[in-house]
């Protein structure tokens, strides 16, 4: 259900993922790639150098975070923070101990795997598994900001005085350092004004978020920017936002994500309602019994309007009349609103909402598919529709699980990745299902942009950073 959102977000936020958390690691990995190449290090030595460098930056940052947390307000904690604190002492940290394989980070390459795809896309590093610098890597700027790391990686331990003396290596200092300035220019891509390239797409997304931050108070980026872009008339009339081709596509994706969230919530409610061996008819009845004894058409007619008189989206998904409903009824209402929107939106908004590909538009559970099903059931019982929909979701879950099944070569058994198991129309689950929205990556993006001085956060409110003129 969330695959569509993740695929579109991957295209609209190139260079950032849900696990790329701090800007300075992009530059740090670039620095180590250049140093490993300069020294001609074999893979194992390059891995050791990278892990030790991450520990150095993590230890300096962890100490500074505890002493001056206000300077880190917009940032995520450094990678390995908990383990660094746990293994540290009042006298400092043991770099060799922390950097050992499987200690502060499980992978041999430390936290580089979380950043590698983004750094390759940004051409900071090469595609080779043996880390090497890419053609966008500015070794001089990065060395100016982070070069002291190379003086510390060979030390076995770093005492508190040394950590304090090298505070400039903290993740918060990239907002004012030379490596942060280079990274800000790379991300902002000032020469890419149209979304014809990944750099142009990223630039438009950055400019869009920065403009919203200028127009309204933003405390939680995903929540506040989403609602402003999706519903506020100013977001559609502002000359800057309206000139950005991707603003409309983002609006469509935001609206689609409400449907994705509703599907995930409804499925979690159904799965977590399976107690022991449960007949599938009984599970379907759990949902049906919560719904009014009416037709599907009457249910749709009772939902709030989704567009105003000028054809602009209104916040139907946040209508007060939906808030008091039980979770599955509210979820079904939001899904029906999404099915209505697919026939109201047009142009780039519609592309963001349902995609460009026919297989996305007509996929089972997609808004257009659901709209067609609601039409077919228009004069029939809403409760019967709920039973049918539950069966459809169960069948779909089994198909997807089987499609992902793999043979475990060590045990010689077929592993089917699913929480819900179906045997002779009896269901059981082996763990709870979780709900939640598919990530738009804006919270991660905002923290990264703050780390390079493009954005800033003061007293819980987001603003434009000292280098914000690159995107504002």
The pLDDT score that the predictor gives to residue 437 is 87
> What pLDDT shows up at residue 90?
67
Asked whether the predicted pLDDT for residue 471 surpasses 90, the reply is: yes
φ, ψ at 300 (rounded to 5°)? -65, -40
Give the residue among 40, 51, 30 at the shortest CA–CA distance from 140. Answer: 30
**Residue 127: per-residue pLDDT:** 80
Task: With cut-offs at 50, 70 and 90, classify the pLDDT of residue 335.
Answer: very high
405 — pLDDT class (breaks 50, 70, 90) = confident
Angle between helix 382-403 and helix 367-376 axes, rounded to 10 deg: 140
Per-residue pLDDT of 105-154, as tens digits, reads: 999 999 999 999 999 999 999 987 778 999 999 999 999 999 999 999 99
Query: Is the distance from CB of 54 to CB of 79 less than 8 angstroms?
Result: yes
Q: Over 90: is that where the pLDDT of 334 sits? A: yes
Residue 259 has pLDDT above 90, yes or no: yes
Q: Look at residue 232 and tell me whether its pLDDT is greater than 70.
A: yes
Whether 284 has a pLDDT exceeding 80, the answer reads yes
Per-residue burial over 64-87, b if 16 or more Cβ lie within 10 Å, else e, is: bbeeeeebbebbbbbbbbebbbeb
Specify the long-range contacts of residues 227-231, CB closer than 8 Å, at least 24 apart.
Answer: 227/315, 227/318, 229/254, 230/254, 230/255, 230/313, 230/315, 231/313, 231/314, 231/315
- Residue 360 is predicted with a pLDDT of 81
| Proportion of the chain above pLDDT 90, given as a percent | 84
For 164-174, what is each residue's pLDDT tens digit?
A: 999 999 999 99
Q: What is the pLDDT of residues 339-376, one digit of tens each?
A: 999 999 999 999 999 988 877 888 999 999 999 999 99
Strands 92-94 and 157-159: antiparallel
Domain ranges of the chain: 3-191+447-470, 254-429
460 Cβ partners below 8 Å, 6+ apart?
Answer: 73, 219
Give the model confidence (pLDDT) of 59-77 as tens digits: 999 999 998 888 999 999 9
- Predicted pLDDT of residue 2: 81
Q: Give the pLDDT of residue 414.
A: 81
- Check residue 88 and give its pLDDT: 78
């Amino acid at each position: 259900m969330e695959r569509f959102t993740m695929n579109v977000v991957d295209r609209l936020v190139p260079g950032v993922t849900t696990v790329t958390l701090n800007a300075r690691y992009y530059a740090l990995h670039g620095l180590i790639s250049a140093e490993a190449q300069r020294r001609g290090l074999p893979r194992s030595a390059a891995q050791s150098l990278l892990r030790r460098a991450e520990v150095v930056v993590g230890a300096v940052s962890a100490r500074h975070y505890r002493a001056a947390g206000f300077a880190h307000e917009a940032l995520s904690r450094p990678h390995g923070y908990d383990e660094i604190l746990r293994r540290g002492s009042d006298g400092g940290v043991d770099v060799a101990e922390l950097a050992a394989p499987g200690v502060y980070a499980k992978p041999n390459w430390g936290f580089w795997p979380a950043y590698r795809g983004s750094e390759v896309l940004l051409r900071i590093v090469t595609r080779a598994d043996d880390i090497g610098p890419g053609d966008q890597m500015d070794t001089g700027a990065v060395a100016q900001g982070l070069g002291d790391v190379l003086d510390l990686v060979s030390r076995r331990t770093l005492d508190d005085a040394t950590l304090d003396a090298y505070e400039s290596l903290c993740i918060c200092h990239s907002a004012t350092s030379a490596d942060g300035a280079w990274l800000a220019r790379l991300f902002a891509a000032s020469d890419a004004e149209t979304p014809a390239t990944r750099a142009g797409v990223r630039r438009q997304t950055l400019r869009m978020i920065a403009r919203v931050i200028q127009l309204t108070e933003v405390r939680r980026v995903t929540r506040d920017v989403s609602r402003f872009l999706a519903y506020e008339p100013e977001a559609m009339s502002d000359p800057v936002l309206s000139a950005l081709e991707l603003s409309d596509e983002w609006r469509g994706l935001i609206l689609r994500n409400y449907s994705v969230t509703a599907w995930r919530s409804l499925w979690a409610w159904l799965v977590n309602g399976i107690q022991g061996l449960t007949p599938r008819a009984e599970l379907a009845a759990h949902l049906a019994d919560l719904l009014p004894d009416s037709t599907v058409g009457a249910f749709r007619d009772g939902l709030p309007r989704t567009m105003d008189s000028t054809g602009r989206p209104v916040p139907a998904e946040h209508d007060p009349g939906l808030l008091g409903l039980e979770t599955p009824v509210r979820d079904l209402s939001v899904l029906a609103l999404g099915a209505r929107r697919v026939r109201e939106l047009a142009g780039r908004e519609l592309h963001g909402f349902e995609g460009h590909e026919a297989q996305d538009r007509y996929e089972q559970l997609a808004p257009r598919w659901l709209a067609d099903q609601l039409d077919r059931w228009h004069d029939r019982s809403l409760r019967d529709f709920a039973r049918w929909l539950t069966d459809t979701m169960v069948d779909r879950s089994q198909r997807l699980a089987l499609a992902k099944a793999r043979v475990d070569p060590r045990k010689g058994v077929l592993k089917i990745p699913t929480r819900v198991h179906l045997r002779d129309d009896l269901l059981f689950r082996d763990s709870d299902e979780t709900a939640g929205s598919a990530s738009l990556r804006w919270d991660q993006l905002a923290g990264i942009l703050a780390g390079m001085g493009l954005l800033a956060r003061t007293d819980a409110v987001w603003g434009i950073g000292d280098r914000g003129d690159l995107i504002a």
